[in-house]
């Protein structure tokens, strides 16, 4: 049976334990994703409490991380999503994404509406990818692809 969470406390505690196990076992997110059978972005988000994993994936991840049956159950539970509290993020990496949306959020909204009309870009029917590429001017660049299905607003 499919279950949903009401209180994210248990899922947050599981995320802390899972990250601790990942570090102790010196695993990468890609290695965890490989046993889950899903993308590295989806698997990472699931382990961090933002998605539910199918039973087989939850069992494989829990086994790799050395987590118990309660962890399998929680990994399968539909979470209460949202990993940030209401305050401005203080972690520098997360803050930069916040900053990007503060600077470019209205631009993205205008361009999406101009090209698609009134609607949203889904974060449910969604793909995320992060790649490291060489910067022609030296160093490295991050290429982040957010690929979401457009869902038009429907009058009722």
Supply the angle between the helices 55-65 and 9-24 in degrees, to the nearest 10.
Answer: 50
The verdict on whether 96 is a catalytic residue reads: yes
Of these residues, 28, 96, 110, 141, which one is catalytic?
A: 96
Of these residues, 55, 63, 99, 110, which one is catalytic?
A: 99
Of these residues, 122, 137, 140, 141, which one is catalytic?
A: 122
The catalytic residue positions are 96, 99, 122
């Amino acid at each position: 049976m499919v279950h949903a969470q009401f209180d994210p406390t248990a899922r947050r505690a599981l995320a802390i334990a899972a990250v601790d196990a990942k570090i102790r076992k010196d695993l990468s997110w890609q290695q965890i994703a490989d046993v889950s059978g899903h993308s590295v972005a989806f698997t990472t988000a699931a382990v961090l409490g933002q998605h539910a994993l199918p039973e087989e994936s939850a069992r494989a991840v829990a086994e790799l991380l050395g987590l118990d049956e309660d962890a399998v159950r929680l990994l399968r539970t539909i979470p209460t999503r949202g990993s940030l509290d209401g305050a401005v993020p203080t972690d520098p990496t997360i803050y930069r994404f916040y900053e990007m949306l503060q600077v470019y959020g209205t631009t993205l909204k205008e361009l999406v509406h101009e090209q698609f009309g009134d609607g949203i870009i889904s974060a449910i029917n969604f793909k995320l990818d992060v790649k490291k590429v060489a910067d022609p001017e030296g160093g490295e660049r991050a290429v982040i692809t957010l690929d979401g299905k457009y869902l038009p607003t429907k009058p009722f």
